[in-house]
C-alpha cells in the first residue's frame, strides 16, 4: 500500500496530537482525581425515601471541610430542602431518582450529572464564589421537564 | 442508465426519505417558534411530541431511506442489474422498514410515544412504538442482506478480483450497520417489548441505556459513511480526476468499522453504573476514529490540488480557484465538508472524558449534531439529490433548477450557521437542550443566557426559518425532478451518475478479507463491553416500572 510522503507526515502529526490529547485527559483524570460524575452504588428505586441518606435529603456536614448534599429527583422537581452550602469547602453531591431519568445540573459549575433510577450518582465539587445558583434538569423527563428546577445558595 | 426495475426501488426509497424530510423539517420550524414563546400549540399537540417526530423522521427515516436509495442505484450500476431474489428482498426490506416507520409515526402523532428518539426507559411508550422500531431495523436488515447477496454473487463470478470501490464501501457501511443494530435489537426485543406489553414488570435501566448507545454512536457513522462515499467517489469525478488512493479509501472505511462501535460509553460519561476505567477506555477507542478522519481529509485536499494543478493552477493555493464552483453538485459537497471541520472538532471536545461535563445535554450538543448530521451529511445528500433523482427518472436538471439548487444550499448554510452558532454558545453558557420554552420562573441566570444578540431565541428562530425555507426549495426540486421536469431527450441533457475511477488492482487483497475485519471488530467490542455489561446485569438494582410522564 503506497503512502504519499506528505500523508505520512500528516498522519504522524495527527497521531502525535492524539497521544498528547489523550495523555492530558488521562493524567488529569487519574492522577488529579479529575473524573466526571459517576459511582457504582445502587438503590431500590421504590424505597428511596426510606434509604439513607435520601430518607433525610439536604445538607449534612461530614467534617470540618466536607459537606454532603443528598438530593432526590422526581418528575418534576428536586426534594432537597434548605440547600445552603459554604464556598471553599468540598461538597459531595449524592443524587438519585424515584421515577425516570433526570439530570442534576448546577448552572455555571461543572456539576452536570445524569440521575438514573436504581443508581446513585456522586460528584464532588467546591464552589468558589458565593451566590444563588440555578439547578435544572437537562434530560427529558416528561411534560413538565422544562419546569423542573431549584436553587442552591452558596454562602 | 440502470435497469428500470432497479430504478423503481431506488426512487421509492428516495420518495419516502423526502416525505419524512418534509414533515421533519416542519416540526423543526415549529420548535424554534415554541422556544421563542411566539407560538402556542393546540391542546392536543405537545412540544415533546414534535421534538420526537423531528428527531425520528430526520435522523432515522430520512437518512436510512435516502442511503438505501443511493446504495441500490450504485450497486446496480457498479455490479450489474439485480437478480430476481435480490430484487424481491430489496422490496420486502423496503416495505417492512416503511411499515415500522408508519407504525412508530402513528404512535408519536397519537401521543403514545413522546419519548424522543432515544426512548430512555423507564419512560414507557405504547408497546407498538417499540414494535415499529423493531420492524424498522428488521426491514433495513433485509435490504442490507439483499445488497450483500448481490455483492457475493458478483464476487463468485469474479474470483480473485477486488470489488469496485463503490461496492466495497457499501458493504463496509452495511457491515457496520448490522453489527451496530445488535445492541438496539437486544434491548428492544428482550427489554422494552416484554416490559411495554406487561409481560415483565420492570426494566434494567442502565443496561438499556448502554445497549442503546452501543447502537447510537455507530448510527452516526451509518449516516456519515455514505456521505464519505460521495466525497471519495463522486467528487473526484466532478473534478475530472481519479480517486486519490483506492487502498487508503478502503483502509479508512475498515478503520471506521473497527472504531465506531466499541465507543458508546462516551455518550454516558456523566452517569453512574460504569466505572471510570471503562469510560476512559472507550474514550481512547473513540479518539481512534480521528485517524481515518484525517486520512479522509488528506485525500480530499489531495484530490482538489491534483485537479487544480491539472487545469494549470500555479502557486501554493492556485488550485483553489480552479475548483468547479459553478457546479452545484460540487459546491454543495464542498460546503458540507467545510462544516465538518468545526463539527469534528466539537466531537473531540464532547468525547474528552471530564470535559464532557461542561457540554453534556446542553444546547451545545444540539448545535453539534446540526453541523455534523444536519449539514455535512444532509447537504452531501442534497448535493447528491440534484443528480440522483434526474438520473433515475431520466429527466433534465434544468438551468433554473441549478440556480435554485444554489439558492437552496446557500440559504441552508446561512440558516445553519446562525442557528448552530447560537446553540453552541448558548450551550457553553449553560442553556439545556430538549426543553420547551422556559425561563425557570424568570431566574436571572436563565434570562442572562438569552440576552445576547447571537445568543437569543430570535437568532435561533431566524436561523430555523431560513432553514425551513431552504428545505421547501429542496422539496420543490425533488418534486420537479421526480415528476414534472422535461424528459432528457438530447445526449447533453442526460444526467449521469458521476463515479470516479480508482486503481483497485493495486490494492492489497487483505483489505477485502471481511473475516479479518469483522473478527477484530467483535474482539474490540468484547474488550470494551463484556465486563461492564455483565457487571450491570449481575449487580443490577431492583428494576424500574414504566411511567408515562407526558
Residues B22 and B473: beta-carbon distance below 8 Å? no
Please tell me whether residues A7 and A82 are part of one structural domain.
no
pLDDT value at A2 more than 80 = no
Please state which of the ranges B128-132, B206-210, B432-436 shows the lowest mean pLDDT.
B432-436
pLDDT value at A33 more than 90 = no
pLDDT for the residue numbered B476 = 98
Residue of A nearest to B506 (CA): A1
C-alpha to C-alpha distance for B283 and A36, rounded to whole angstroms: 12
Mean pLDDT for all residues in chain A: 94
pLDDT for the residue numbered B224 = 96
Please tell me whether residues A28 and A55 are part of one structural domain.
no
Q: A39–B272: do the CB atoms touch at under 8 Å?
A: yes
pLDDT for the residue numbered B315 = 85
Find where cell 459537497 sits.
B333
pLDDT value at A1 more than 80 = no
Of B46, B353, B544, the CB nearest to A25: B353
**Domain membership flag for residue A40:** no
Q: At B429, is the pLDDT very low, low, confident or very high (cuts 50, 70, 90)?
A: very high
Per DSSP, the residues of B394-453 read TB---HHHHHHHHHHHHHHHHHHHHHHHHHHHHHHHT-BSS--S--TTT-HHHHHHTTSS
C-alpha to C-alpha distance for B503 and B241, rounded to whole angstroms: 12
Residue of A nearest to B355 (CA): A36
Positive or negative: CA dihedral A18, A21, A23, A29: negative
Rounded mean pLDDT of B140-157? 98
* Listed residue (B410, B443, B391, B450) closest to B426, CA to CA: B450
Please tell me whether residues A31 and A71 are part of one structural domain.
no
pLDDT for the residue numbered B452 = 87
pLDDT for the residue numbered B432 = 94
Q: What is the pTM for the complete model shown?
A: 0.96
pLDDT value at B451 more than 90 = no
Task: For residue B486, give the DSSP letter.
Answer: P
In chain A, residues with a C-beta closer than 8 Å to the C-beta of B249 are none
- Within 8 A by CB and 6+ apart from B8, the residues are none
pLDDT value at B52 more than 90 = yes
Q: At A82, is the pLDDT very low, low, confident or very high (cuts 50, 70, 90)?
A: confident
Of B48, B270, B542, the CB nearest to A143: B48
In chain B, residues with a C-beta closer than 8 Å to the C-beta of A36 are 269-270, 276, 279, 353-354, 356-357
Q: At B46, is the pLDDT very low, low, confident or very high (cuts 50, 70, 90)?
A: confident
- Number of neighbouring beta carbons within 10 Å of residue B344: 19
Please tell me whether residues A80 and A137 are part of one structural domain.
yes
pLDDT value at B212 more than 80 = yes
Q: What is each CA distance from B61 to A81, A128, B127, B189, B226, in whole angstroms?
A: 45, 47, 20, 20, 15
- Within 8 A by CB and 6+ apart from B483, the residues are B393
pLDDT for the residue numbered A5 = 87
In chain B, residues with a C-beta closer than 8 Å to the C-beta of A104 are none
pLDDT for the residue numbered B90 = 98
Please state which of the ranges A110-119, B66-75, B193-202, B505-514 shows the lowest mean pLDDT.
B505-514
Q: At B299, is the pLDDT very low, low, confident or very high (cuts 50, 70, 90)?
A: very high
Tell me the ipTM for this assembly.
0.96
Please tell me whether residues A141 and A69 are part of one structural domain.
yes
Residues B455 and B422: beta-carbon distance below 8 Å? yes
Q: What is the pLDDT of residues A100-125, one digit of tens each?
A: 999 999 999 999 999 999 999 999 99
Number of helices and strands in chain A (H, E)? 1, 10
Find where cell 416503511 sits.
B98
Spot the catalytic one: B209, B370, B395, B457: B370
C-alpha to C-alpha distance for B504 and A52, rounded to whole angstroms: 66
Q: B352–A103: do the CB atoms touch at under 8 Å?
A: no
- Is the peptide bond prior to A53 cis by the omega test (within 30 degrees of 0)? yes
Residues B477 and B396: beta-carbon distance below 8 Å? no
Residues B272 and A39: beta-carbon distance below 8 Å? yes
**Domain membership flag for residue A63:** yes
Q: What is the pLDDT of residues B492-501, one digit of tens each?
A: 999 999 999 9
pLDDT for the residue numbered B42 = 83
Positive or negative: CA dihedral B328, B331, B337, B341: negative
pLDDT value at A74 more than 90 = yes
Please tell me whether residues A27 and A52 are part of one structural domain.
no
Of A2, A7, A107, the CB nearest to B298: A7
Percent of chain B with pLDDT over 70: 100
Positive or negative: CA dihedral B404, B406, B408, B414: negative
Find where cell 421509492 sits.
B12
Range of the structural domain that residue A16 is part of: 1-35
In chain A, residues with a C-beta closer than 8 Å to the C-beta of B287 are 18, 21-22
**Domain membership flag for residue A95:** yes
C-alpha to C-alpha distance for A88 and B79, rounded to whole angstroms: 68
Residue of A nearest to B272 (CA): A38
Catalytic (active site) residue B370: yes
The more confident residue out of B440 and B17 is B17
Residue B516's φ and ψ, nearest 5 degrees, are: -60, -50
**Domain membership flag for residue A96:** yes
**Domain membership flag for residue A1:** yes
First and final CA of chain B: distance in angstroms?
51
Please tell me whether residues A102 and A147 are part of one structural domain.
yes
**Domain membership flag for residue A19:** yes
Rounded mean pLDDT of B149-175? 96
C-alpha to C-alpha distance for B273 and A113, rounded to whole angstroms: 12
C-alpha to C-alpha distance for B296 and B350, rounded to whole angstroms: 21
Q: Strands A112-115 and A121-126, how do they pair? A: unpaired
Packing angle of the helix pair B4-35, B84-109 (nearest 10 deg) = 20
* Listed residue (A94, A99, A57, A96) closest to A75, CA to CA: A99
Q: A136–B440: do the CB atoms touch at under 8 Å?
A: yes
What's the burial of A9, exposed, middle or buried (CB within 10 Å: 0-12/13-18/19+)? exposed
SS3 B298: helix
pLDDT for the residue numbered B528 = 97
Please tell me whether residues A63 and A104 are part of one structural domain.
yes
* Listed residue (B317, B328, B260) closest to B474, CA to CA: B328
pLDDT value at B96 more than 80 = yes
The more confident residue out of B37 and A6 is A6
Q: What is each CA distance from B502 to B231, B236, B505, in whole angstroms?
A: 13, 10, 9
* B375 lies within 8 A of chain A by CB: no
pLDDT value at B454 more than 90 = no
Residues belonging to chain A: 155
C-alpha to C-alpha distance for B84 and B101, rounded to whole angstroms: 26
Across-strand partners of A131?
A154
**Domain membership flag for residue A53:** yes
pLDDT value at B408 more than 90 = yes
Please tell me whether residues A21 and A96 are part of one structural domain.
no
How many Cβ pairs within 8 Å bridge chains A and B?
216
**Strand stretches in B289-372, DSSP E:** none
Please tell me whether residues A65 and A118 are part of one structural domain.
yes
Percent of chain B with pLDDT over 90: 90
Please tell me whether residues A14 and A58 are part of one structural domain.
no
* A38 lies within 8 A of chain B by CB: yes
Please tell me whether residues A67 and A114 are part of one structural domain.
yes
Domain count across chain A:
2
Q: A117–B122: do the CB atoms touch at under 8 Å?
A: yes
Rounded mean pLDDT of B52-76? 96
C-alpha to C-alpha distance for B356 and A110, rounded to whole angstroms: 9
C-alpha to C-alpha distance for B44 and B217, rounded to whole angstroms: 33
pLDDT value at B358 more than 90 = yes
pLDDT value at A135 more than 80 = yes
Quick one: which H or E segment has residue B72? helix B63-79
Please state which of the ranges A44-48, A136-140, B308-312 shows the lowest mean pLDDT.
B308-312
* Complete domains list, chain B, with CATH: 4-538 (1.20.210.10)
Rounded mean pLDDT of B374-397? 97
Spot the catalytic one: B48, B320, B434, B476: B434
Q: What is the pLDDT of residues B241-286, one digit of tens each?
A: 999 999 999 999 999 999 999 999 999 999 999 999 999 999 999 9
Q: Residue A134 is part of a domain; what is its CATH number? A: 2.60.40.420
Q: B291–A15: do the CB atoms touch at under 8 Å?
A: yes
Q: A118–B542: do the CB atoms touch at under 8 Å?
A: yes
pLDDT for the residue numbered B549 = 94
pLDDT for the residue numbered B132 = 97
What's the burial of B225, exposed, middle or buried (CB within 10 Å: 0-12/13-18/19+)? buried
* A90 lies within 8 A of chain B by CB: no
Amino acid at each position: 500500500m503506497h503512502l504519499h510522503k506528505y500523508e505520512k507526515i500528516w498522519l504522524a502529526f495527527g497521531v502525535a496530537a492524539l497521544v498528547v490529547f489523550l495523555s492530558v485527559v488521562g493524567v488529569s483524570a487519574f492522577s488529579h482525581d479529575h473524573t466526571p460524575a459517576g459511582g457504582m452504588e445502587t438503590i431500590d428505586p421504590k424505597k428511596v425515601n426510606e434509604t439513607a441518606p435520601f430518607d433525610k435529603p439536604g445538607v449534612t456536614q461530614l467534617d470540618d471541610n466536607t459537606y454532603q448534599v443528598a438530593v432526590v429527583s422526581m418528575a418534576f422537581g428536586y426534594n432537597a430542602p434548605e440547600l445552603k452550602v459554604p464556598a471553599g469547602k468540598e461538597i459531595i453531591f449524592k443524587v438519585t431518582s424515584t421515577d425516570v431519568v433526570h439530570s442534576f445540573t448546577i448552572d455555571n459549575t461543572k456539576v452536570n450529572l445524569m440521575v438514573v433510577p436504581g443508581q446513585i450518582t456522586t460528584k464532588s465539587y467546591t464552589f468558589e464564589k458565593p451566590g444563588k445558583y440555578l439547578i435544572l434538569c437537562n434530560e427529558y423527563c416528561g411534560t413538565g421537564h422544562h419546569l423542573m428546577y431549584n436553587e442552591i445558595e452558596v454562602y | 442508465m440502470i435497469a428500470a426495475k432497479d430504478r423503481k426501488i431506488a426512487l421509492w426509497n428516495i420518495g419516502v426519505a423526502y416525505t419524512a424530510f418534509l414533515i421533519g423539517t416542519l416540526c423543526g420550524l415549529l420548535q424554534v417558534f415554541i422556544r421563542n414563546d411566539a407560538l402556542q400549540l393546540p391542546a392536543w399537540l405537545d412540544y415533546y411530541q414534535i421534538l420526537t417526530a423531528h428527531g425520528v423522521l430526520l435522523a432515522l427515516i430520512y437518512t436510512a431511506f435516502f442511503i438505501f436509495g443511493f446504495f441500490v442505484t450504485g450497486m446496480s450500476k457498479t455490479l450489474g442489474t439485480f437478480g430476481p431474489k435480490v430484487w424481491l428482498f430489496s422490496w420486502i426490506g423496503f416495505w417492512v422498514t416503511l411499515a415500522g416507520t408508519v407504525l412508530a409515526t402513528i404512535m408519536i402523532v397519537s401521543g403514545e410515544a413522546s419519548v424522543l428518539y432515544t426512548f430512555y426507559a423507564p419512560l414507557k411508550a405504547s408497546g407498538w412504538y417499540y414494535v415499529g422500531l423493531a420492524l424498522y431495523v428488521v426491514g433495513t436488515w433485509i435490504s442490507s442482506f439483499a445488497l450483500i447477496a448481490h455483492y457475493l454473487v458478483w464476487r463468485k463470478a469474479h474470483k480473485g478480483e477486488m470489488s469496485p470501490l463503490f461496492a466495497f464501501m457499501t458493504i463496509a457501511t452495511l457491515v457496520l450497520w448490522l453489527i451496530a443494530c445488535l445492541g438496539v435489537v437486544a434491548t428492544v426485543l428482550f427489554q422494552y417489548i416484554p416490559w411495554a406489553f406487561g409481560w415483565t414488570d420492570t426494566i434494567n435501566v442502565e443496561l438499556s441505556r448502554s445497549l442503546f448507545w452501543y447502537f447510537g454512536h455507530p448510527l452516526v457513522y451509518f449516516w456519515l459513511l455514505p456521505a464519505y462515499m460521495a466525497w471519495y467517489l463522486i467528487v473526484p469525478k466532478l473534478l475530472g480526476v481519479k480517486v486519490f488512493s483506492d487502498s487508503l479509501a478502503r483502509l479508512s472505511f475498515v478503520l471506521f468499522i473497527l472504531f465506531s462501535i466499541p465507543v458508546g460509553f462516551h455518550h454516558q460519561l456523566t452517569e453512574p453504573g460504569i466505572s471510570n476505567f471503562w469510560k476512559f477506555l472507550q474514550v481512547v477507542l473513540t479518539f481512534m476514529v480521528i485517524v481515518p478522519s484525517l486520512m479522509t481529509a488528506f485525500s480530499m485536499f489531495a484530490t482538489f490540488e491534483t485537479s487544480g494543478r491539472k487545469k494549470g493552477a500555479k502557486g501554493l493555493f492556485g488550485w483553489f480557484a480552479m475548483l468547479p464552483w459553478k457546479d452545484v453538485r460540487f459546491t454543495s459537497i464542498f460546503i458540507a465538508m467545510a462544516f465538518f471541520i468545526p463539527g469534528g472538532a466539537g466531537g473531540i471536545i464532547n468525547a474528552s472524558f471530564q470535559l464532557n461535563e461542561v457540554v453534556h445535554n446542553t444546547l451545545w450538543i444540539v448545535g453539534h449534531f446540526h453541523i455534523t448530521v444536519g449539514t455535512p451529511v444532509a447537504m452531501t445528500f442534497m448535493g447528491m439529490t440534484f443528480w440522483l433523482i434526474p438520473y433515475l427518472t431520466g429527466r433534465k436538471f434544468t438551468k433554473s433548477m441549478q440556480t435554485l439548487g444554489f439558492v437552496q444550499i446557500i440559504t441552508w448554510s446561512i440558516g445553519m450557521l446562525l442557528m448552530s452558532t447560537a446553540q453552541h454558545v448558548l450551550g457553553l453558557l449553560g442553556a439545556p437542550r430538549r426543553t420547551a420554552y422556559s425561563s425557570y420562573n424568570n431566574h436571572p441566570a436563565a434570562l442572562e443566557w438569552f440576552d445576547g444578540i447571537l445568543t437569543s431565541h430570535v437568532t435561533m428562530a431566524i436561523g430555523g426559518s431560513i432553514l425551513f425555507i431552504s428545505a421547501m426549495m429542496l422539496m420543490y426540486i425533488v418534486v420537479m425532478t421526480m415528476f414534472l421536469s422535461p424528459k432528457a431527450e438530447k445526449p447533453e441533457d442526460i444526467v449521469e451518475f458521476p463515479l470516479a475511477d480508482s486503481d483497485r488492482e493495486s490494492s492489497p487483497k487483505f483489505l477485502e478479507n471481511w473475516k479479518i475485519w469483522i473478527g477484530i471488530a467483535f474482539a474490540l467490542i468484547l474488550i470494551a463491553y463484556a465486563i461492564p455489561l455483565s457487571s450491570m446485569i449481575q449487580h443490577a438494582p431492583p428494576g424500574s416500572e414504566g411511567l408515562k410522564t407526558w
